[in-house]
Chain A
Amino acid sequence: MGSVTRFLDSSIGRKVLMSLTGLFLCTFLIVHASGNLQLFKNDMGLAFNQYSVFMTTFTPIKIVSYLLYATILLHVISGVRLALANKAARPVSYGASKMPGSSSWASSNMMVLGFIILIFLVTHMANFWYKYKFGDVEWVKYEVSVMDGSVIGKTTMPSAPHMQPHEYVVNDGVSAPIKYVIVKDLYSVVQLAFQEVWIVALYLLGMLAIAYHLVHGFQSSFQTLGLRHPAIAGIIRNLGIWVFGIIIPIAFASMPVYFFFFA
């Protein structure tokens, strides 16, 4: 274990830590983005609300989520430590300094981008995760047709202490069987939040920051891990640009935009 600690304390070790935590966060983003796409389902938010229940109650997911929080923390702390060390390595700065054209802007501003992302994350967690866990999010009851799964209605429930999400089916043999689903209505919280201009703006800024952060960060982590070979360099670069620089940020950004303009 001592050798691992020493490794992690070396310049390369710290970078390896950054890249591994970063890559782990990247995989989470894919999961998170695909889950959140349920917001677009035309079902009065049922799928999204159910997904929220799953994410907050299923034990393996819960474990992964704590790992995730730890990873974020590690990534941030380690990043700040690196940035401070890097700053100390040049106590007197240049009077005139130009980045060579070949260096991307993002690569030299990872700390700034990371900081924006951190602010975004804190707001994001406060807005939804905290509210969902500890705030007074309304309980709702969905009426769902068992036959075709279509959502028939959604009614507000009076909230009671120790209420748990649950569902039951009513089949009186006369009318078509109906499933009732009782969940916290995070969907409406999202809908409401994304009416606020400043929140939408913050989200768009956050996504822009994530895009830039990852276009550089994704491929940079492979370089740090020494995984550089002409055969895979192009694939990694394109993955970084397309998946993490474009698709995922756009997917996320489309949510506030959608609710702001259309819902």
Chain B
Amino acid sequence: MALNSNTPSGPLSEKWDNHKFNLKLVNPANKRKYDVIIVGTGLAGASAAASLAELGYNVKTFCFQDSPRRAHSIAAQGGVNAAKNYRNDGDSVHRLFYDTIKGGDYRAREANVYRLAQVSVNIIDQCVAQGVPFAREYGGLLDNRSFGGAQVSRTFYAKGQTGQQLLLGAYSAMNRQIGAGKIQSYTRHEMLDLVVVDGKARGIIARDMVTGKIERHAAHAVVLCTGGYGNVFYLTTYARGSNATAIWRAHKKGAYFGNPCFTQIHPTCIPVSGDHQSKLTLMSESLRNDGRIWVPMKKGDNRRPEDIPENERDYYLERIYPSFGNLVPRDIASRKAKEMCDEGRGVGASGLAVYLDFSEAINRLGQKAVEARYGNLFDMYKQITGEDPYKTPMRIYPAVHYTMGGLWVDYNLMTTVPGLYACGEANFSDHGANRLGASALMQGLADGYFVLPYTIGDYLAGEERKPITTDHPEFEAAEKNVKGMIEKLLSVKGTKTSHDFQRELGLIMWNHCGMARNEKGLIEGIEKIKALRQDFWSNIMVPGSGEELNQNLEKASRVADLIELGELMMHDALHRRESCGGHFREEYQTPEGEALRDDDNFAYVAAWEFMGVDSPAKLHKEELNYETVKRSQRSYK
């Protein structure tokens, strides 16, 4: 199948408006005859569910948590970008578009990113109207802060809890529709398979996680908003429950997977303290606004940070990138931290950390002002590490945080399975090879509030208005498939837990497909993952039964998918013989150690088609044609 992105023609700034006009509409009275299933209730899912229900569609939402409000969007701290130009500092839709394309190292689709920048302004309006308590100035107007990869202040925020407030806003809109009977919300339900009937997505198989009952749900369209797959690395800033099962099983049912190797390593996380650790905690990138990153000049300098004089400190980001300084994009900040530690200048007990120092900001602004900006982050740091960042610099280290890759979608956010859509982090779309800070919230909400509600109508308008039923043989087959897998997991009765396997998987991924990758390592990694998959299916131990609340069963089934996905990521990383954004191949770098892109050979989206667990996935390419932006070597110097 040829990959058609369905990008509209015409000038970049008019594409979305023209497209909206050309999209087919569903008559208001007919909307209630269409059912839509939305899996995942984070920013993308909740906003899509609310907006579609407001339009009149019948919506069913599914989330594995006990409430839609708990989706991991809630953990986003720093803010949400929007090209409002309230600061009068030269921002514009075009500049946000340009920053995002450049930040993504020219591996995103121009038209999508431009649309994202266009609707960003509506997001803020929408959220404010919902009662989201954004930070304000004394005049009562909205406040902004700056973020990495940008030289304007365009980030709207609610203390360090922006994701929480935006999600609660979308959740409230969703609640209104649940109350009105337009959304049926299924909580503690996990999607375990996609049902494709006559080539179209027609429903899902879900497991009620309390009773263990396997349920069939049918609809005219299915939307996956299940977030990213970073937990393939085990130690990440993701929630423990975040998983790739929905998108991976959709992938196995025909949805291509776009750029799986594009993962983001966030530079400012709390370093690992020991083997027991179950997750890493992110400290918002906004800290880089006022915190200065440094390591000692000397290798192995293990004096306390306060005892190291100013002239023996290396503020390496400020030194190497004078114009962006501590606010370089995430991929660069992360890689440089790794380089410093590799040179032996890392700090802390493990040597795997750099300092993020606020003493200068505290002197300049006073502790009160610093507290007002970052108080909750400082508290969190103290709670986890037992150290007081007002007195001693924070120690930070990069951690896996986001996946730019995901299900391939066209301009309408539809995957290669007709009627199956993917929104938010679950799709590959707008961030290219690296995402800028405060853009994840923007994309999730853009997709859910302002893109999908238009584009899904175009598809539904062409569908028959009679209800889809669950008695089709495809439902039967999918249900059987799911039950079979559960039985298999329970029947192995091996010696290793899903926890053991995920840890092993994470280690393999981090060592072979982490912040820096090379051909030899990837080839080795693929072999190791294959062996791990064999081991998993002969040694997994899942206690209990399928007919009860069984958290280990849930986890085992997710880990099984992550192992397969990990292998695909390695293949993708191996095939992309260039460095771009978060994908850094050691063989391809500039003399200064920056990522070296190969636009002649790799200016495309790699979309992988599933060909069977034991067969290599088939590569399809979507060429990225840049009509407006001239590609150049990214420079933040």
Asked if the two chains touch in their complex, CB atoms less than 8 Å apart, one says no
